[in-house]
Structure 1
Amino acid sequence: MTKTALVLQHVHFEDLGSFLEPLLAAGYSIRYSSVGDADFCSGDPLAPDLLVVLGGPVGVYEEEAYPFLAAQRAFLAARVASRSPTIGVCLGAQLIASALGARVFPSGIKEIGFSRLTLTDAGRSSPLRHLDGVDVLHWHGDTYTLPSGAANLASSALVEQQAFALGRNILGLQFHPEAETDQRFERWLVGHAAELAAAKIDPAALRLEAQKHGKALKDAAALMLRDWLAAAGIAR
């Protein structure tokens, strides 16, 4: 029987990326629901076998400017309360943390570029072990406090909270293991051009980093996702 994955998307160029192949291989039927769609965050939040919440350039705390955030957090609160399998990436991780009662706030820095994680003991015994020694893509300015009952899995040189797990079914990833770093990475550079300019980050240098680290990141991300699906009991 085909399993279903609902993907909540905030900007068109931040998609499943390298997560797509492992999900298809695991037998998932994938449906995107994007900001601006009439059915965004509607329906039964417990219905999909898997929920994936992607990134975006807004803050969880900006509900007045972006009212969809309140509805999305309510959708997620119901989902995570039931411990239904859920993955959040960047903004998605922050939304999950917020739905679990944690605080999301500006970190005071822009962490953009490729660097390695430092895994905690919990991280080394989790599917994130595949990312040990791999340069991952960071692209954020916000961070979160660790949700009650969750385990911190990783940190970076700049930001302590880089990944958390609540049991085997809830996973938040502050970084971007899913980002495609081939020619499709150009969509990120153009889509975030104003942010890169404001942070004085050279897109040419970032492009070279993506070319250097992309293959290793894609392979490690696929192994991480495969093992997480298996641990959550929702693999083929």
Structure 2
Amino acid sequence: MAAVSSPSRRRTEALSRERIVDAAVALLDDAGEGGLTFRALSQALATGPGAIYHHVANKEELLAAATDAVVAGTLADEPDGTPQDKVRALALGLFDAIDAHPWVAGGLTASSWQATSPRIFEKVGRQVRDLGVPHDRWFTVTSVLVQYILGAAAQNAANARILGPDVDRDEFLGAVSTTWEELDTDEYAFTRTVADQMRSHDDREQFLEGIDLVLAGIGTTVRPTGTPVMPASPSRS
């Protein structure tokens, strides 16, 4: 006669790492990194902490897995178009993912960064290669792009956390813009002139403009592979 599995054993076997990570993502979205505890996760999954520890060693590993799951999902689709189009699509996908899951910005550190960085670097790096950037510049150019993408996205997420869900963004920017306009004329001559631009700017559009600036810089400062070197101008006697 076959042995009958106990309810606790069946529950443990049904509890996959994927289910745990999905539940962790939901907890992080609702309560942030501080709300991700094994007690809360146990309640969400209707199981005991021991069953979770069978799949995940600690909170750091769980945060790394949740971060990697969000990034992997974002990078799953292959964008269409030119290498420039693909860079924009990849960048915007990561920006939107971090905007939707602000905790990802904090998760891209330590062990979580070690697990996730190759995914991002590979996707962006392939486009850098296809742009015709010489091989000996691949690492630097890809690093600059990745640093801008993640840095700008993280700053946007941080700003959203500072403001909180109850603060009206337009009212906040209007108040800051007014403060800028009232700064000392001589000491803040430039800042006063762009106060109105700051009031009306769109974070997402500004981010994409930054990507275009980086791409333009790559096009003008990094000689594409196969492009002939222009001869030096003859000196005038």
Short-chain TM bin: under 0.3
TM-score (normalised: structure 2): 0.27
**Higher strand fraction: Structure 1 or Structure 2?**
1
Q: Which has the greater radius of gyration?
A: 2
Using CA pairs under 8 Å that are at least 6 residues apart, name the structure with larger relative contact order, 1 or 2.
Answer: 1
**Higher helix residue share:** 2
